[in-house]
Amino acid sequence: MQKNLLLALLLVLSSTAIAQSKFAENTISINTFRNPSIGLEYQRRQISIHIGYYPTNFESGVTTEFLKLGVSYWFLPIGEKEIPSSFYSGVSYLRGTTRDYKDKNALGIEAGFRWYAWKGLNLRIGMIALAAEKQSLKINPTPSISYSFKF
């Protein structure tokens, strides 16, 4: 039993080390649509932080706006490009600026996939679950277009 646990631990550690080596040391992304927000994101290997403006539609034709700050974890890199495509999961703090969320705090939990289409140009598709006090849980798609610079 102990040998199996040790072997499992070694496999996890080695796969994390291999994944880390595929991610760029440092990347800055300019996000132009709502995933994770319209703003900036700094990624160091498998961890990124982002800050920006986040508009979303909980109902058709009605945009609710937030300021958003969060952290993401990147995993399962795919491909041999300079910056690999990969999956992500993240958590964010949101502060409502309009409608029912004006001046309210919210928590966002999200997951998805980022595909590097050409050089630094990337597209994301994901889902966010957004929770705020006295509001029902909202789940929305989070598409994005971004450009990333490796340094």
- Using the predicted structure, report yes or no on whether residue 30 has a pLDDT greater than 80: yes
**Choice between 79 and 27, residue whose per-residue pLDDT is larger:** 27
**pLDDT for the residue 82:** 87
The first and second tokens of residue 87, run together, are: 């999956």
What does the pLDDT look like over 80-114, one tens digit per residue? 888 999 999 999 999 999 999 999 999 999 999 99
pLDDT higher for 150 or 3?
150
Give me the pLDDT at residue 35, please: 94
The predicted model gives 8-24 an average pLDDT of 61
Q: Can you give the residue ranges of every domain in the chain?
A: 2-150
Cβ-in-10-Å burial (0-12, 13-18, 19+) of 28 comes to middle
Asked if pLDDT for residue 123 goes beyond 70, the answer is yes
Give the pLDDT score at 1: 67
User: Is residue 2 classed exposed, middle or buried when 0-12, 13-18 and 19+ CB atoms within 10 A define those classes?
Assistant: exposed
Confidence (pTM):
0.85
Burial class (CB in 10 A: 0-12, 13-18, 19+), 92: buried
- What gap in Å lies between CA 29 and CA 93, rounded to an integer? 19
| Mean pLDDT for the stretch of residues 30-57 | 96
Average pLDDT over residues 68-74: 98
**Residue reference for tokens 């450009």:** 147
More confident residue, 14 or 67: 67
What's 46's DSSP letter? T
2-150: what fold? Porin (2.40.160)
Between CA 92 and CA 107 the distance in angstroms is 6
Is residue 100 within 8 A of residue 106, CB to CB? The reply is: no
